[in-house]
Amino acid sequence: MTDATPTDATKDSALPVGLADAEDHVLLRIDGRQALSAATVAAVAAACDQAEDRSGRAKVIVRVSGAPEEPRARELTVSLVNKWEQVLRRLERLPAATFAVADGNCGGLALDAFLAADYRIATRSARLMVPVENGATWPGMALFRLAKHGSTGTIRRAVLFGTPVEAADGLALNLVDEVVDDPAKAVAVAVERSGAVAGSELAIRRQLLLDAPTTSFEEALGVHLAACDRALRRAAVAGGRS
């Protein structure tokens, strides 16, 4: 297990229930109370490196909590924000399944990382919060990811006014996959259900899913046929080994 922690270098040895094989899991902790820094970007990049080094066999578990307690924009530059958004995009496109767990208030960096995960689990106390900076919500890519789930009243209020999204509302809007009392057990079950799906083929399926809402059938057909061709080639190779 790798604990890539931007705010706390202490080793966290507690794997979720049922995740006993530490070599197959990368643990990333994000504290939304902290300001964005180069160390934060490096921590997420390190987690991505380790997941990629294991050829997609590892599951990435992102534990998030906390929301900004004071303005952060004074310390930021567009260059640093861009690096953060790019490393989140890398996390979002990993050849490995990613599972996020949110507990309590979840805003800023924590919200960003939570929304970039494949499977999102929230405790009943979780609240998704878009930070407000100098009288306006922070216009980062979390707004883009929220908007992908539709222009509902709950999402509009979150994006425009920073109104927190409660766990139950997040579940109804598909921002959250599960609301649970025991997140460790929920992660273990979700990881087990993900089975052996991993590697570049997982990343391809994820991209097909992300592209579908904005791509016409005619535009999508070619890439889907290419994916089918790869699947048939892999099946033929596997059949030759048996």
Give me the pLDDT at residue 28, please. 95
- Per-residue pLDDT of 187-206, as tens digits, reads 999 988 887 676 788 888 88
Question: H-helix or E-strand containing 123?
Answer: strand 119-123
- Per-residue pLDDT of 43-83, as tens digits, reads 999 999 999 888 767 899 999 999 998 888 877 899 999 99
Within 8 A by CB and 6+ apart from 84, the residues are: 36, 40, 41, 109, 112
For residue 162, pLDDT over 80 is answered with yes
Question: H-helix or E-strand containing 28?
Answer: strand 25-31
For residue 1, pLDDT over 50 is answered with no
Give me the pLDDT at residue 122, please. 98
From the number of C-beta atoms within 10 Å of its C-beta (0-12, 13-18, 19+), residue 16 rates as: buried
Q: How many residues does the chain have?
A: 242
Supply 48's token pair: 């991505």
Q: Where is pLDDT greater, at 190 or 17?
A: 190
CB atoms within 10 A of CB 120: 25
Question: pLDDT tier at 214 (50, 70, 90 boundaries)?
Answer: confident
Asked whether the beta carbons of 27 and 63 are under 8 A apart, the reply is yes
Residue 236 half-sphere exposure toward CB, CA atoms < 13 A: 6
Distance CA(126)–CA(106), nearest Å, equals 7
What is the chain's alpha carbon radius of gyration, rounded to the nearest angstrom? Answer: 18
- Per-residue pLDDT of 115-126, as tens digits, reads 999 999 999 999
